[in-house]
Amino acid sequence: MSNGVDFKDLQRRMDGAVAAFHHDLASLRTGRASSNLLDPIHVQAYGSPMPINQVATVSVPEPRMISVSVWDKQLVGAVDRAIRESNLGFNPIVDGTTLRIPLPELNEQRRKELVKIAHQYAEHARVAARHVRRDGMEHAKKAEKDGEIGQDESRVQSDRVQKLTDDTIAQIDSMLAEKEAEIMQV
Q: What is the tens place of the pLDDT at every residue in 9-35?
A: 999 999 999 999 998 888 776 667 777
Q: Which amino acid is at 10?
A: L
pLDDT at position 31: 67
pLDDT in the model for residue 159: 94
Helix 7-26 with 151-184: angle, nearest 10 deg: 10
Identify the CATH class of 7-25+107-184.
mainly alpha
The angle formed by the CA atoms of residues 179, 102 and 96, to the nearest 5 degrees, is 135
When the candidates are 3.30.1360.40, 3.40.50.2000, 3.80.30.20, 3.30.1360.120, the CATH number that belongs to 32-102 is: 3.30.1360.40
Confidence (pTM)? 0.69
Mean pLDDT for the chain overall: 87
| Residue 3 confidence (pLDDT) | 72
Task: List every span in the chain annotated with CATH 1.10.132.20.
Answer: 7-25+107-184
- CA separation for the pair 72, 88 (Å, rounded): 24
Ranges under pLDDT 70 in the chain: 1-2, 29-31, 186
